[in-house]
Each structure stands twice: as structure tokens, then as C-alpha cells.
Amino acid sequence: MPDQFQITSSLLNAIWEIRLFLPFNIMMIPTIQSKLPQVGTSIFTVMSALATETGAINLGQGFPDFPMNAQLISLVNRAMKDGYNQYAPMPGWMPLRESIAEKIYLLYGSQVHPETDITITPGGTYAIYTALTTVLQPGDEVIIFEPAYDSYIPNVEVNGAVPVLIDLKFPGYKIDWKEVRRRISPKTRMIMLNSPHNPTGAILDEEDINELRAIVEGTNIIILSDEVYEHLIFDNIPHQSILRYPDLMKRSFVCFSFGKVYHCTGWKLGYCVSSAALTKEFRKVHQFNCFSCHTPSQIGLAEFLSDKNSYTTLGAFLQKKRDYFQDLMGQTKFTPIPSYGSYFQCYKYDRISDESDKDFAIRITKQYGVASIPVSAFYHSGKDNKVIRFCFAKKEETLEQAVEKLTKIK
């Protein structure tokens, strides 16, 4: 006699076999509950696709169109030819971590230990995601300033935490520290900062650091400082890296991108600097996600960074492009918002149109052949100050051709 278990499992087997004869639309298709139901395609992808489709000049997505440093390419090439093609150590190639520590000491006067405080990551975005995942528990609150780089809010939400959004003061995009004080709560776990800032080119100054210090002192708040545009700061203004301040450093994850500063965004390589205690936890998440990063690039970068010219000349190089672009744009009806760093310059277009920034950016891509990024995409609410962002990290001829088109907009 078959027992009840055998009968049940034969029945289930029969039902499972029958599925092959069912019409397609009632076949069982597995479904999942989206962790990010609000998220669509990023504005960078959308505008780059539109630029390609229409043959427009792409001043939207932030990437250079000029060649990267040839010496760095040959150093990476040499590492490959020399046979360095297997896994790097999980925290990163030690000579690269040593070069980074030397650079930090030289620029910011802080002692960072390559063994315990620096982790090489596949890009800045990954470093930010990993830091947030390391820290956040469901229900934790994270202060984010808007406009904000598009990965921040989804990174917080996917961890079950809650973004607390504060607008930067328009049009200078400075932090309203009084508002920060009002929005701090017992649940505040992190504050996210980004200087030089994407999309606005705003920067933090010493006063901002003092305000931050006063707010976090004696609390359990962690700082996430996105400094992927570290060296791309203009007019001889010192970069207010969190790494200058040992008291802030011990409660911070500071994230960097080689892709951004060395004009090789496609390499997706960066690093995270933190205290030994925080780094230990960061590496627990990292080792089960990507484990280690592209070995030959790390070897090439280790040697490249040992020459300080590789990073001390970058600001001036990009500043020339900003100035050139701004000069050319003087012939148009766009109004600039000052940019002190990054790849970007924002413009108001109120003397041209009162369209929404998205409509305007799409129209000028299609009609005039220049793609930009509407800044409302950096606000969760879609707040529209009628500002668009241009990337000036381009060859002079690209900037000239783009501005020639933009002057035709009346």
C-alpha cells in the first residue's frame, strides 16, 4: 500500500509534468518582489543612448573623449606581459596601497596604514555601495544632500535603510547646516558627502568641515565621503578631503576612483580609505562580492602613482578645459553656475526657454545636436530648477563644435 507521502508526491510530480501541456500564459513564471520598485534606467544611459541615436555631441555622461596617459597604459601592458594575470590579494596589490598611503601623507599630512586602512575596489560606485552595505541596518537613516549622484538613494534603500533628503541651497549648492541639525535623529546612522560635487562642481570648504565636526562629535554617526573627483579641483583651492582630519577619518569611509582622475572611466577601479576597525568590516562584505580587482591595472597604477606629477597636475589640466568651455559658452544665452571642481559645469537656460529641464535637454539633443544632463534627475522628487549639466572633460575641438551648435539656440 502506498503511504500518504507517496501519494502526495506522485500527485505533485503529475502536476509538474502536466505543465508542459499547459498554454504558455498560465505556465508558472517565478516572480520576485522588487527591492527597488522606483528605479528605472539611469539618466546617463538614457542621454548617451539619445546622443548615439541622433548623432549628437555627447556632453552628457561624464567621461573624457581624449586619450588617457600613454605611460600608464604601457605600465599596465607590461604587467600583463610579465605574467601578472592571476588574482591580486583581496584588499589590493600592496605596492599600490603603499603608493596611495604616500600620496595621502604628501597631500593631507595623515598617516594611513596600507595594511589595514586601504582597500582597492572595482570603482568608486562599488566602494560606496560596499561601505553602505557594511554599515546599514533596516530602518537606519542616512542624510543625503540633493542634487545627489544617482546611486546613493538606491544603495541606501536596497539595504532597507531610509534616505533623509536635504536640498543644497540653490544656486550656490551649499549645505544648509541648520537644516542638517534639524534633521538629525536618534536613527541617523550616516551622512553622505560629495566634494567636488557631481553634478554642480560645488566644493566643501573649511567652514563646512567645522560644522560637520561639531555635528558628529560625540555621536555614533558614520560619514561616507565620495571624493572621486579628488584631484579635479580648480583655482588653487585646497581639496577639503576628510583625510585631512584624523578625528573625522576614524568615523569615515572615503571613496575614490582611478577611472575619474586618470581619465579611464572604463577601467572601473578605485579604493576606499577608512579606519582599521571599519575596514575590517568593509572587507568582509567586499571579499564575498568581488574578492579582488584587476591585477595588471593595480601594478601599473602602483608605479604610476609613485611619481607625484601623476596627480599634482590634474587640476590645472581640467581647469584649462573648464575655462575654455566657459569662454566659448559666453557666446550663448546660457547662464553659468560656478564650478570649482569635477568634470562638470551647470548652466541655467531661463533666457532661452521655460520648458522642464528634461524636455529642454532632450530637445536640444535632437534639434541642435548636443547632449547634456537635466539636473532634476539628481533629485528624488524631480525638483526642476531649470538647470542642465555639461561635461567639459573633452577635446578642445569637441567643445568648440558643441558650443557652435549651442550658439544657434535663440
**Nearest in space to 346 (alpha carbons), one of 355, 354, 357, 335:** 335
Which one-letter amino acid corresponds to residue 51? A
Residues in contact with 308: Cβ distance below 8 Å, sequence separation at least 6, in sequence order: 103, 106
Closest approach of ligand GLN to the CB of residue 393, in Å: 10
- Let me know the angle formed at the C-alpha of 311 by 305 and 315, rounded to the nearest 5 degrees: 170
The size of the interface with ligand PMP (CB under 6 A), counted in residues, is 15
User: Which class for 286: exposed (0-12), middle (13-18), buried (19 or more C-beta within 10 A)?
Assistant: buried
DSSP string, 194-260: ESSPTTT-----HHHHHHHHHHHTTS--EEEEE-TTTT-B-TTPPP--GGG-HHHHTTEEEEEEHHH
The size of the interface with ligand GLN (CB under 6 A), counted in residues, is 5
Query: Is 241 one of the binding residues for ligand PMP (CB under 6 A)?
Result: no
Place of cell 558628529: 216
Query: Is 61 one of the binding residues for ligand GLN (CB under 6 A)?
Result: yes
Query: Is 311 one of the binding residues for ligand GLN (CB under 6 A)?
Result: no
Of 46-85, binders to ligand PMP (CB under 6 A) are 62
In this structure, what C-alpha cell is assigned to residue 105? 601623507
Query: Is 62 one of the binding residues for ligand GLN (CB under 6 A)?
Result: yes
Q: Which is nearer to ligand GLN, 93 or 325 (CB)?
A: 325
Tell me how far apart the terminal alpha carbons of the chain are, to the nearest angstrom.
Answer: 89
Partner interacting with residue 335 (select from ligand PMP, ligand GLN, none; CB below 5-8 Å by kind): none
Query: Is 259 one of the binding residues for ligand PMP (CB under 6 A)?
Result: yes
Partner interacting with residue 194 (select from ligand PMP, ligand GLN, none; CB below 5-8 Å by kind): ligand PMP
DSSP string, 33-92: --S-TT--S-HHHHHHHHHHHHT-EE-SSS---S---HHHHHHHHHHHHTT--SPPPTT-
Query: Is 198 one of the binding residues for ligand PMP (CB under 6 A)?
Result: yes
Q: Rule CB under 6 A: choose which of 108, 129, 145, 149 binds ligand PMP.
A: 149
Partner interacting with residue 259 (select from ligand PMP, ligand GLN, none; CB below 5-8 Å by kind): ligand PMP
Partner interacting with residue 114 (select from ligand GLN, ligand PMP, none; CB below 5-8 Å by kind): none
Q: Kindly list the distances between the CA atom of residue 221 and the CA atoms of 189, 214, 362, in Å, as whole numbers in the listed order.
A: 5, 12, 40
Closest approach of ligand PMP to the CB of residue 255, in Å: 7
Q: Which is nearer to ligand PMP, 231 or 268 (CB)?
A: 268
> Which range touches ligand PMP (CB under 6 A), out of 48-56, 69-77, 119-127, 129-137?
119-127
| Residues at the site binding ligand PMP, with contacts judged by CB under 6 A | 62, 123-125, 149, 194, 198, 226, 228, 257, 259-260, 265, 268, 270
